[in-house]
Amino acid sequence: MSIERQLTGDITVLRVDGDLAGINAEELRVLAGEELNAGHRDFLIDLTHTGSADSQGLEALTWLQRECHERLGLVKLLNVSDAFRKILELTRLEQRFTDELEPY
């Protein structure tokens, strides 16, 4: 389980390998925070290898979305599995990310 970071132009791509929970959620916050501090405000979160998330993972995503919104940036979730999408629906977070759930 890890998160790979790649800068493509002005966009930071974070590829999550494993569930967005525990250490992965904390790593997402740390890496995203570093990028935000460096002045980057647009993020693609690639969830190809992510099946689920816990409350810590969902909080990390909503924190990043708020931070980017305040900086006039955006967060897009890519390659969202049906199971992950269901978690977003059950927690009513799908509305927060509706326009951002796209295939990569």
Give the whole-angstrom CA distance, residue 24 versus residue 34: 15
Distance in angstroms (rounded) separating the CA atoms of residues 41 and 74: 7
Structure tokens at 1: 């389980």
- How far are the Cα atoms of 9, 32, 45, 67 from residue 60, in angstroms, in the given order? 23, 9, 11, 11
Token pair in block for residue 48: 């190809």
Average pLDDT of span 8-30? 94
- Which domains, ranges and CATH numbers included, belong to the chain? 2-102 (3.30.750.24)
* Total Cβ atoms within 10 A of residue 48: 13
pLDDT digits (tens, 9 = 90+) for 24-75: 999 999 999 999 999 999 999 999 999 999 999 999 999 999 999 999 999 9
Q: Across-strand partners of 32?
A: none
pTM score of the predicted model: 0.88
